[in-house]
Amino acid sequence: MRNKKTVLRIFTGLGTIMLLLLGVTGILFRNELRSLHSLEKLDDYGMYRMVYYGDYGFDEFLKTGATSDADIEAFVTSRLLKGLPIDLNVTGGGCTAFVTRNEKGEILFGRNFDFAYSPSLQLFTTPENGYASVSTVNLTFAGYSADYLPEGLSFDSFLALAAPFLPFDGMNEKGVAIALLAVPEASPPYDPHKIMLNTTTAIRLVLDKAATADEAVELLRQYNIYFSGNVTCHYLIADADGRSVIVEYYDNGLRVVEKEADYQIASNFIAYDHLNIGEGFTEFERYELVQNTLEANGCLLDEDSAVALLAKAGVWDGETDKLQWSVLYNLTTGNGRIFAHRKTHQIFTFDLGRN
């Protein structure tokens, strides 16, 4: 009898300890678990959606920045992944983006990301010291692939928690949108007194802190930048007032390319000073396709037409469809549409709202 009581006490004690450990884990990881619980698979191609709950530490990150991807990996591993290592896998792409108006005068910002297979995550963030935003994350950057994808509330999904630091495009609650596009070369200025950001944390800076396109440019001027994996890029930036610019890093300076029409288009060539330095692929053909479509429609596109244009402008590489995702942001209303791999029959809508 005494032995049975002893065994019972041992199991009761172990159960109590397990409950305490689960309780402590729940407290320590409550925001991470809540975020992963929101993870939703939208499309079998590999398109996901997630709400990030809690503080992802971007203000802390801005105090030191990062001079290499290893620095970002270390910060994300310590701050967001609780010690789980991440290996950033940087990709570029043959992208196209444009800014125009619809028939109501609302500002539309359309963007394609063209590359080898890249699963994507639409991420919603609400930082305490910044603007709410929706962004598109290339999950390949976080180490995912066709053979390794997030899977609900599981260990395989944990790397998705790095997503706030990995946006490739996005729109914030003030109606500011930004997208990166690869270009053949870049030579950013360097000031030893400024903090260094990389390709994607520069986008996070704009989404969290800029209320206008001009504020976005001034914020970018306050930081040095390096391009992860030596994939050089420029940025198309626009706001709800219809202001848009392309920011390029050329000849050791930050260069601002103003729009010269009622629309602005960015592709994979350097537009500064009409240099038109391209990659030698389809960057000019895609630019002309968008330009001809806009001008044929009086520089106005309804949202259905804008979606159709994005699908048409996606890159085909021989027999391979390179278009990974397309997103259309309405900077006036804060809503939009997103779809994977030219699937215009399977569009997902979203609404960030506008203050």
In a domain, 268, yes or no: yes
Task: For residue 324, give the CATH number of its domain.
Answer: 3.60.60.10
In a domain, 283, yes or no: yes
Q: Is the pLDDT of residue 285 over 50?
A: yes
The owner of tokens 């390029």 is 248
Amino acid at 210: A
Residue 13: predicted pLDDT: 44
- Asked whether residue 192 is domain-assigned, the answer is yes
The pLDDT value given to residue 189: 97
CB 234 within 8 A of CB 266: yes
pLDDT at 160 over 80: yes
- Lowest-confidence segment of 8-22, 101-115, 163-177, 233-247 by average pLDDT: 8-22
Q: Are 240 and 175 within 8 A, CB to CB?
A: yes
Residue 16 within any structural domain of the chain: no
Helix (H, G, I), strand (E, B) or coil at 168: strand
- Identify the sign of the CA torsion 316, 319, 325, 331: positive
Residue 330 pairs in a beta bridge with 108
Q: Note the pLDDT tens digit of each residue in 291-341.
A: 999 999 999 999 999 999 999 999 998 789 999 999 999 999 999 999 999
For residue 2, tell me if it sits in a domain.
no
* Residue 68 is assigned to a structural domain of this protein: yes
Domain membership of residue 163 (yes or no) is: yes
Q: What pLDDT score does 3 carry?
A: 54
Segment 126-139 shows an average pLDDT of 97
Enumerate the H helices of the chain as residue ranges: 2-28, 30-37, 58-62, 69-79, 199-209, 213-221, 283-296, 303-313
Number of domains in the chain: 1
The answer as to whether 5 is a domain residue is no
- Note down the domain range covering 106: 29-351
pLDDT in tens, 237-250: 999 999 999 999 99
